[in-house]
Chain A
Amino acid sequence: DGGITQSPKYLFRKEGQNVTLSCEQNLNHDAMYWYRQDPGQGLRLIYYSQIVNDFQKGDIAEGYSVSREKKESFPLTVTSAQKNPTAFYLCASSIVGGGGTDTQYFGPGTRLTVL
Chain B
Amino acid sequence: GQNIDQPTEMTATEGAIVQINCTYQTSGFNGLFWYQQHAGEAPTFLSYNVLDGLEEKGRFSSFLSRSKGYSYLLLKELQMKDSASYLCAVRGGTRGGYNKLIFGAGTRLAVHP
Contact = CB atoms under 8 A, between A and B. Distances in A.
Q: Please tell me the size bucket of the interface on A.
A: 20 to 34
Interface residues of B, number: 28
A56 B48 contact: no
A56 B96 contact: yes
Main secondary structure of the interface of A (DSSP, over half): mixed
Interface in B17-76: 30-31, 33, 35, 40-45, 48, 50
Contacts of A45: 100-101
A90 B50 contact: no
Contacts, number: 55
B105 interface: yes
Nearest to B101: A104
B33 A103 contact: yes
A111 B42 CA distance: 11
A40 B43 contact: no
Contact of A100 (B50, B101, B105, B106): B50
A60 interface: no
A99 B103 contact: no
A42 B106 contact: yes
A108 B45 CA distance: 13
17 contacts: A40-B105, A42-B105, A43-B87, A45-B100, A45-B101, A48-B98, A56-B95, A98-B30, A98-B99, A99-B31, A99-B50, A100-B31, A100-B48, A100-B50, A103-B33, A104-B33, A105-B45
Interface of B: 4, 8, 30-31, 33, 35, 40-45, 48, 50, 87, 89, 95-106
